[in-house]
Structure 1
């Protein structure tokens, strides 16, 4: 059985690193980057610079989750 987590390489702050993410989180991250007119490398560098603990993959998952929770909350407040 194929793992739902895929390891991907990305260059941030001039160095190559890898993150292990499910496709849904990777797709969400790309959507957020596009909406903010940022590259994936730039948005991951921003996430990396702001994380306080945990690994980068976890920080990305939390960032994506927080983004979409915020959108959901905004919709609820407009109703």
Structure 2
């Protein structure tokens, strides 16, 4: 399988819970996030805010990537239920010692 060239991360500033933060994602993830937000009839910023509130200990960029992956794995047209069930945000297998293992 031949993959296209890797693109640089694009850093964008978003307002979450009243404060500005920057998020760095690959262009493909920004595009997918826009597609999901459009399908839900909401702004990308509102969607990122919802992902942020459900992300647990995961950093925001990772939570967004996991959310996008879950949205596209779970349905051909991402729906509100994808966010409602967390789409894997902040989830993992807790090991007895308190560390995170692989699911």
| Fold equivalence (TM over 0.5) | yes
- Displacement after TM superposition at 1:54 (Å): 1.8
Please show how residues 1-79 of structure 1 align to structure 2 within 5 Å: 4-71=8-75
- Which structure 2 residue ranges, 5 or more long, are not aligned? 1-5, 77-103
Structure 1 outlier segments of 4+, above 2 Å: none
How many residues end up aligned between the 2 structures?
Answer: 71
Q: Which has the higher contact order (CA 8 A, sep 6+)?
A: 1
- Which structure 1 residue ranges, 5 or more long, are not aligned? 73-79
User: 2:75 is paired with a residue of what secondary structure?
Assistant: helix
* Larger Rg belongs to: 2
Spell out, residue by residue over 1:4-58, the C-alpha distance to the aligned partner (whole angstroms, 9 max, x if none): 2111111122211111100000000010001001111110010000011221000
The answer to which structure has the higher helix fraction is 1
